[in-house]
Amino acid sequence: MHKKFHYSLGGICLVLFVMLAIMVHLKFQKAPVNIFINDTAIQKFILNFHSNLLTTLARYINVGFGLNGGLVMIFVFVILVLIFKKVNRWISAIYLLTTSGVGIRLNTEIKNLVGRTRPFVTQLITETDKSFPSGHAAGATLLIGGLFLVIVSNIRSLPLKVLLGIVASVIVLTVMASRVYLSVHYPTDTIAGALFGLSILHLSYPTFYKYSVQKSRKRSR
């Protein structure tokens, strides 16, 4: 485990998130960002794929990664970790619960601080709270990313790690795209949510690795 890599990546994600949050708070509370990241162009691109099937899928994703669905997934993931014999089960479960719980709570507070309104377009579902950052994107990053880090820290096969990384990335990107598709978020909201989730995961991962993986390996010698 490369501690400097995780701290550096987490720090970069946090700095980018804070810069984006400040920019949105100062200039784009009621408008799309079209500097560096073109919200309008990305929105139009995603909405070009509108279909009944995708709308149904996006609505299922909305429920699955919403507050109630997210709590169920956290519970399921913790159970899976507890029955997975190759990991330090209790520390892994605490890691997932802590990163997800703290991250989702902070995300709600940041929404109120930034104060960005939802896009002024017809929403396919009803969302009335603030928009930035996306709670679904942050939650998906924390849940799927956290589970990914727990699993890959206990396997040695590089191809398997890459495959799991691709799967995790596709899931998170799909959740992000679904929020824009449903017209309840600007693309920058979802990017910010992912950056926020990644910063929490990478900044906390070295501590998890120290108390979980390293101690488990020492005991097995």
Q: What are the structure tokens assigned to 131, written together?
A: 């928009």
Q: What is the mean pLDDT of residues 140-169?
A: 88
Q: Which residue has the higher pLDDT, 69 or 212?
A: 212
pLDDT digits (tens, 9 = 90+) for 91-136: 777 888 889 889 988 999 999 999 999 988 877 888 888 999 999 9
Residue 193, pLDDT score: 96
Cβ neighbours for 173, distance < 8 A, ≥ 6 positions apart: none
Report whether 117 contacts 131 (CB < 8 A). Answer: yes
Q: How far is CA 99 from CA 51, 53, 109, in A?
A: 35, 33, 15
Q: Are 209 and 4 in contact (CB under 8 A)?
A: no
- Tokens representing 191? 């990017």
Which structure tokens are listed for 28?
């784009």
Whether the predicted pLDDT of 69 surpasses 90: no
pLDDT at 177 over 90: yes
pLDDT score for 88: 66
Mean pLDDT across 145-159 = 85
- Residue whose structure tokens are 């390293």: 214
Q: What is the pLDDT of residue 83?
A: 54
Which pLDDT value is given to residue 82? Answer: 57
Q: Summarize pLDDT for 80-94 with one digit per residue, the tens.
A: 655 565 556 677 778
Where are the extended beta strands (E) located within 106-211? none
What Å distances lie between residue 12 and 9, 203, 212, CA to CA?
5, 10, 25
pLDDT score recorded for residue 70: 55
Instruction: Indicate the average pLDDT of the chain.
Output: 85
- Lowest pLDDT segment from 141-145, 170-174, 213-217: 213-217
Average pLDDT over residues 172-189: 93
What are 26-57's pLDDT values in tens digits? Answer: 989 888 898 888 999 999 999 888 889 999 98
